[in-house]
């Protein structure tokens, strides 16, 4: 996984997804040998020469200006997230090969304090590769109650949420609309891969998922990107039944450190009641015992 290859692959994949009629071109019923637009057509729409665009798409040129990238993004009909991803990929192609590899992420005091501050609201802390660095009790119960509560503490047993979504039957069964969740997960991972093309652990994760999940491989080949800051999902939980939660991703403005994924429900809704029941059902036994003792002393 390298930045130059990702940039070229992204251009090729997205060009193939744009039909001539989508951008006002006529094909006159001719037989086309390629899906989507030809390179010459895309170059014309972007206002650049066909040979130059071909060099970009073949990974032979690394000096595209922001203006040219914006023109290509407009021709490909990219949304804001996809446009930002194109710029990020272009920046990685211009970096020196000596760029240091990103270091493994760990829980920071600030992330730990935020996880503590959300209380009983389900929350999990993830690194850029979607490894679970920590979770609170209700976050564990909502997203992965079939796993050991302390599994994030051991790097050898640390859960990976992307793997769980694609390779774990329990997690897959949690989502009523699993394809939508799968697209969101892959779209977010695409953004991360564009930002960290020299991360060997990230490349290994993508390779493993591609080998073991045909659904992941198909979605990954589409080169779709998606910023998953907020997403609403209907979940079918084995303890509290069906509920709808809003999964929000929180991170420092600098984009560094763990991401905190927090699940909330609409106030005064059945889903909020279900989350409250989940919190009660998974409360530590010592809390209940302590309350009983306190009541006996006050009687």
Show the tokens assigned to 107: 């829980």
Compute the C-alpha angle 28/33/37, nearest 5°: 65
Q: What confidence tens digit (pLDDT) does each residue in 183-197 have?
A: 999 999 998 888 888
Rounded to 5°, the CA angle 188-193-195 comes to: 100
C-alpha 104/C-alpha 106 separation (Å) is 7
Cβ neighbours for 15, distance < 8 A, ≥ 6 positions apart: 36, 37, 39, 42, 57, 76
The mean predicted confidence, pLDDT, of the chain is: 84
**Where residue 78 falls among pLDDT bands split at 50, 70, 90?**
confident
Question: Over the stretch 134-160, which tens digit does the pLDDT of each residue have?
Answer: 999 999 999 999 999 999 999 889 999
Q: C-alpha angle 270/274/283, rounded to 5°?
A: 155
- Checking if the pLDDT of 71 tops 80, the result is yes
Above pLDDT 70, what percent of the chain?
A: 84
Task: Look at residue 269 and tell me whether its pLDDT is greater than 90.
Answer: yes
Indicate whether 255 pLDDT > 70. no
Helices 80-94 and 178-195: crossing angle, nearest 10°? 30
- Tokens describing residue 297: 């002393």
Rounded Cα gap, residues 165 and 177, in angstroms: 12
Q: Do residues 213 and 165 lie in contact, with contact meaning Cβ atoms separated by under 8 Å?
A: no
Report which DSSP code applies to 257. S
pLDDT at 253 over 70: no
On the question of pLDDT at 178 being above 70, the answer is yes
- Displacement of CA 263 from its chain's centroid (Å): 16
CA atoms within 13 A on the CB side of 255: 6
DSSP assignment of 274-296 equals HHHHHHHHTS-HHHHHHHHHHHH
Classify 255 as helix, strand or coil.
Answer: coil
Which domains does the chain possess?
Answer: 3-94 (1.10.260.40), 109-287 (3.30.450.180)
> Cβ neighbours of residue 68 under 8 Å, at least 6 residues apart?
46, 48
Cα separation, 271 vs 242, whole angstroms: 8
């Amino acid at each position: 996984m390298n930045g130059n290859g990702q940039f070229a692959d992204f251009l090729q994949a997205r060009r193939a997804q744009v039909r001539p009629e989508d951008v006002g071109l006529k094909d006159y019923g001719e037989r086309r040998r390629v899906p989507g637009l030809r390179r010459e057509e895309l170059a014309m729409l972007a206002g650049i020469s066909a040979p130059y665009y071909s060099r970009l798409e073949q990974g032979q040129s690394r000096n595209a200006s922001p203006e040219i990238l914006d023109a290509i993004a407009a021709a490909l009909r990219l949304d804001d997230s996809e446009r930002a991803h194109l710029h990020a990929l272009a920046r990685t192609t211009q970096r020196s090969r000596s760029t240091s590899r990103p270091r493994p992420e760990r829980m920071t005091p600030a992330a730990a304090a935020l996880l503590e501050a959300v209380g009983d609201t389900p929350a999990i802390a993830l690194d850029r590769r979607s490894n679970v660095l920590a979770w609170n009790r209700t976050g564990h119960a909502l997203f992965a109650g079939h796993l050991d509560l302390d599994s994030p503490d051991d790097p050898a047993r640390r859960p990976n949420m992307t793997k769980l979504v694609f390779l774990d039957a329990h997690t897959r069964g949690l989502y009523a609309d699993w394809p939508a969740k799968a697209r969101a997960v892959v779209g977010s991972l695409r953004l991360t891969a564009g930002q960290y093309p020299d991360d060997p652990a990230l490349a290994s994760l993508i390779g493993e998922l591609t080998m073991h999940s045909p659904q992941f491989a198909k979605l990954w080949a589409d080169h779709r990107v998606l910023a998953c800051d907020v997403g609403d999902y209907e979940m079918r939980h084995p303890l509290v039944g069906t509920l709808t939660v809003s999964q929000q991703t929180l991170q420092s403005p600098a984009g560094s450190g763990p991401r905190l994924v927090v699940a909330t429900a609409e106030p005064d809704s059945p889903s909020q009641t279900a989350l409250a029941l989940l919190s009660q059902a998974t409360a530590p036994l010592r809390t209940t015992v302590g309350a009983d003792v306190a009541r006996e002393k006050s009687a």
